[in-house]
Amino acid sequence: MAYSLDDKLVVGVSTRALFDLSEAHEVFRSEGVEAYTRYQIENQRVPLTPGTGYPLVKGLLGINERLGETLVEVVIVSRNSADTGLRTRHSIEALGLPITRAAFTRGRPVADYLEAFSCDLFLSAEDADVVRALQAGFAAGKILPVPATSSHEGEVRVAFDGDAVLFGSASEELYQREGLEAFQANEAARASEPMEAGPFLPFLRALCRIQERFPPEDCPVRTALITARDSVSHERVVNTLHALGVRIDECFFLGGVRKAPIVKAFRPHIFFDDQLVHAGPASEVAPAAQVPRTPPRPAPEVGPR
Ligand SMILES: [Mg+2]
């Protein structure tokens, strides 16, 4: 029987999200694809240093080792060609990462292959791929530059923004359109009405399934919600998490206070936020990714009958 990824937490990660390829990418940008190919082949035995997505990938794969069972799989999903991807392969081997699956599309969009690998999360440095993945219903983040700090040791920590990340963007859009007062009135009036699920709910669900395998006092995964909402909307958030059937370990209602200091204190392996004003400063103190807000993909046109 074929090996099934359906019951695993699967992370699809691009080569630039897993490793710091800024130098090679600069060659690609300034000199083109042929120079890039030459550069990567010439340097294929020069190991790459970890990128923004590396701490999360390494931490999640460590759970398999601890349990003696495979709960997490990581797949390289890359626009590289198989030959320029060799440097990644060698770096994975040098670091001893148990990653055995990869897709190399040689410049073509990779998002169309996420479903075939049952991906619960996709990390990439490429805007177009992230947007396409989100439109197809995947939790996807565009990684920001590699931070200088290290993540928490001992447990894998993942921090999420609320609106437009774990939850839908309806309340956020109302805030943008009509301001804080209208937003607060709306949240108070609808306190018992759960919000819609956002793009990262499937990934949080997959993390919760792993958490269920461990006693709470000895769980290798810890999650946090870090929201700019104030505690007035506490009730709606709690009702929404219940309705969506997920749990979050730590919740921070910041009422507009800067998120970066909280992110720094939590020391996550990654932090996801839709707004660069939060994700940007956070990326200086922890690995971070932006979840761009995207209009739904237009329905395919119906051809002539
Ligand atoms: Mg938000």
The CA R_g of the chain, rounded to the nearest whole Å, is 20
pLDDT of 272 higher than 50: yes
Tell me, yes or no, whether 151 lies in a domain. no
CA of 179 to the centre of ligand 1 (A): 15
Q: Indicate whether 76 and 180 sit together in one domain.
A: no
165 CA from centroid of ligand 1 (Å): 6
164 and 270, same domain (yes or no): yes
Q: Can you give the pLDDT at residue 302? A: 58
Asked whether residue 296 is assigned to any structural domain, the reply reads no
Residues 123 and 177 in one domain: no
Last residue of a domain, one of 113, 143, 173: 143
| Contact assessment for residue 73 and residue 8, using Cβ atoms and an 8 Å cutoff | yes
Residues 271, 188 share a domain:
yes
pLDDT at 243: 94
pLDDT at 6: 84
Q: Are residues 72 and 101 in the same domain?
A: yes
pLDDT band at residue 2 under the 50/70/90 scheme: confident
- Cα 273 to ligand 1 centre (Å): 6
CB 296 within 8 A of CB 136: no
CA of 38 to the centre of ligand 1 (A): 41
Is the Cβ–Cβ distance between 265 and 239 less than 8 Å? no
Q: What is the mean pLDDT of the chain?
A: 92
Calpha distance 143→130 (Å, rounded): 10
163 and 286 inside one domain: yes
Considering the domain architecture, whether residues 224 and 282 belong to the same structural domain is answered as yes
Q: Which domain holds residue 247?
A: 156-290
Structural domain ending residue among the three candidates 143, 178, 198: 143
Of 143, 165, 192, at which residue does a domain stop?
143
Determine, yes or no, domain membership for 297. no
**Hey, what amino acid is at 30?**
S
- Given a contact cutoff of 8 angstroms between Cβ atoms, the answer to whether 12 and 119 are in contact is yes
Q: Which residues contact 84 (CB under 8 A, 6 or more apart)?
A: 36, 37, 40, 41
If asked whether residues 33 and 139 sit together in one domain, one would say: yes
> Could you tell me if residue 283 is inside a domain?
yes
Amino acid at 45: R
Any bridge partners for residue 141, and if so which? Answer: 123
* pLDDT exceeds cutoff 50 at 305: no
Of 72-76, 184-188, 228-232, 299-303, the one with minimum mean pLDDT is: 299-303
Q: What is this structure's pTM?
A: 0.93
Report yes or no on 252 lying in a domain.
yes
103 inside domain:
yes
Total of domains in the chain: 2
The Å distance, Cα 275 to ligand 1 centre, comes to: 6
Query: Quick check: is 161 catalytic?
Result: yes
The band of 301, judged by pLDDT with boundaries at 50, 70 and 90, is: low
Is the same domain home to 168 and 278? Answer: yes
Largest CA distance in the chain: 62
pLDDT: is 5 or 73 the higher one? 73
79: in domain:
yes
* The one catalytic residue among 83, 120, 129, 161: 161
Whether residue 280 sits in one domain with residue 221:
yes
pLDDT tens digits for range 115-143:
999 999 999 999 999 999 999 999 999 99
296: pLDDT strictly greater than 80: no
pLDDT tens per residue, range 196-217:
999 999 999 999 999 999 998 8
Pairing of strands 221-227, 140-143: unpaired
Q: Which pLDDT does position 186 carry in this prediction?
A: 92
Pair of tokens at residue 290: 């932006």
163 with 136, same domain: the answer is: no
Q: State the CATH number of the domain containing residue 238.
A: 3.40.50.1000
How far, in Å, from the CA of 268 to the mean position of ligand 1?
18
Adjacency order of strands within the sheet including 9-13: 101-104, 72-78, 9-13, 121-124, 140-143, 288-290, 270-273, 156-160, 221-227, 250-253
pLDDT above 90: residue 250: yes
> pLDDT tens digits for 45-76?
999 999 999 999 999 999 999 999 999 999 99
* Structural domain includes residue 298: no
> What is the rounded average pLDDT of the residues 147-156?
87
Q: Are residues 95 and 184 located together in one domain of the fold? A: no
Q: How far apart are alpha carbons 115 and 133 in whole angstroms?
A: 10
The rounded Å distance from CA 254 to ligand 1 centre is: 12
Half-sphere exposure of 108 (CA within 13 A, CB side): 7
